[in-house]
Every structure is written in structure tokens, then in C-alpha cells.
Structure 1
Amino acid sequence: MDEKTLLNASDDEYMNAEQLAFFDLRLQQLRQETLQEIEALRAEISQARVSDVSDRATLEEEAIIAIRIADRKRQLIPKIDAARHRIRMGDYGYCTQTGEPIGIQRLLLRPTAEFSTDAKTINEKKESHYDH
């Protein structure tokens, strides 16, 4: 199954076994890629050595940025694992808040999505209301 087939599938086919297998594989690949990216960032940080003070400052700044990127990527791993758990439980593809379908297009863009677009928008509006 490919993305085009997924997008052209009827509503009756939503989250059938073949679609769930497609997303499970996509999530496995995303997890592996993410772990590889984290490891590459770690290696990049640990290998960098310079003696010049200005070069060291630049290197430290780049290391801080790399650490932030690695941390963001590390936070993705539990989301991937949770999405794969939802696949096994039969809940994947449905909003955890409303139970409505999340939609193939959204899941292709963000396979770890837990909320439908409408629920996510409402939650973000609530969060921004409480932040002020």
C-alpha cells in the first residue's frame, strides 16, 4: 500500500488491517530514523574539538543547538511508541478526545497525531487563553 492508495481509499476502509500495517511500518521507520539522527547529533557533539577561544565559543553554541534538536527528537520516541500501542489496541487513527477519525491526510503528515484537527485547534485555543 502507498500514500496514493491510502488517500483514494473509501471511508469504509478507514483504519483497516492494511492501513494499520502501513502506518505501523511508517512509525517503525520514523523511530529508527529518529534514533539514528539522535546518535549522529551525539557523535557530532562529542567529536568536535578546537583550541581557539572564538572557535570554541562557536562550537559550544552549535553544541547547545544540537542538544536542543536531539532533545526534541528524543521526545518524539515515546509519541511513536504510543501511536504503535494505539495500533495494537485498535484505537489508532481516531481522536483520543472525541473518538472521531483523525483522517489519512493528517496521519500521513503526522503519524503520531492523537487528535483530530478540530480537537487540536480547540485545545490550542484553550492553552493560549490560559497562557495570557
Structure 2
Amino acid sequence: MDPNQDDVSFTPYQPGSDEEYMSKDMVKHFRGILEKWRSQLMEEVDRTVHHMQDEAANFPDPNDRATQEEEFTLELRTRDRERKLIKKIEESLIDMDKGDYGYCESCGVDIGIRRLEARPTATLCIDCKTLDEIREKNRA
């Protein structure tokens, strides 16, 4: 499970012996995971906004001000990562509506149930992702 996704719990999907990949039930399973994850991230964004509004203070001591600014900077950086993740979740939901979810955007093969449960926003199968990472490493 993605480290940012600790609070999203679900029962692993057990497909029937003759069930097609990305059947209605399977899509429903992943839609539930994605929507719950997005909802939890949105709640966290709201909490951050309220926290920053409540905690904002004009400290006379420059060290206290610097500490508060550093805390706010870290929180905003985390929220920015979560904002990007929410966008990826929404893109996955759009792919789901189009019937493209669960298939590698590079080669078209099934990404796989367990990989999607570990990373519901995955767009590449493990082989294409590995090749992508090797290419990226060689560019660096």
C-alpha cells in the first residue's frame, strides 16, 4: 500500500475463477478504494487550512516566527504532494469511466489486481514501469 494511503483499508479483491479482468465488480472495488482515498486526502487538506488559520500568530520573537514558518512550509509541501495525488486519483477515475483503468498506458496489458491494490493510480504494468525507471536512471 502506498505510504500516503495508510488509512485506506479494504478487503483484497478475490476474482471468480471465470471472471474477466476489470469486470463490473472489480471496477466497483477499485472505484471504492480511489474515492475513499480522495475523500481522506480532501479532509486532510481542510484540516491543514483550519490548522494554519488557527495557529497563525505574529510572534514577537524571530526564532518563534521562523519555527512557525518552517512548520507551515513543511505542511504546505505535504499538501502540495497530496494535491498532486488527488489529481492522479481523479485521472484514474476518468480512465475508469472510459474503460481504460487497469491497463498499461504503454503496452496495453493488464496492470494486475495486486499491483493496483498496492498503487491504485498505477498507469504502467510492472515491466513497463521497470523499463521506465531504468531509462530515468540512465538519463541521470
**Could you state the TM-score of these two structures normalised by the residue count of structure 2?**
0.83
Cα distance in 1, alignment partners of residues 44 and 54 from structure 2: 15
Matches within 5 A, 1:1-132: 3-4=11-12, 6-7=13-14, 9-10=16-17, 12-48=19-55, 49=57, 51=59, 52-131=61-140
Cα distance in 2, alignment partners of residues 10 and 44 from structure 1: 49
1:101 and 1:55, CA in 2 relative to 1: closer, same or farther beyond 3 A?
A: same
Cα offset, 1:46, TM superposition: 2.4
Aligned residue identity for 2:31: D
Unaligned regions of 5+ residues in structure 1, if any?
none
Aligned residue identity for 2:28: A
Q: Going by fraction, where is helix more abundant, 1 or 2?
A: 1
Cα offset, 1:47, TM superposition: 2.0
Cα distance in 1, alignment partners of residues 44 and 129 from structure 2: 28
Aligned residue identity for 1:100: V
Unaligned regions of 5+ residues in structure 2, if any?
1-9
Aligned length: 129
Identity %: 36
2:107 aligned counterpart, secondary structure: coil
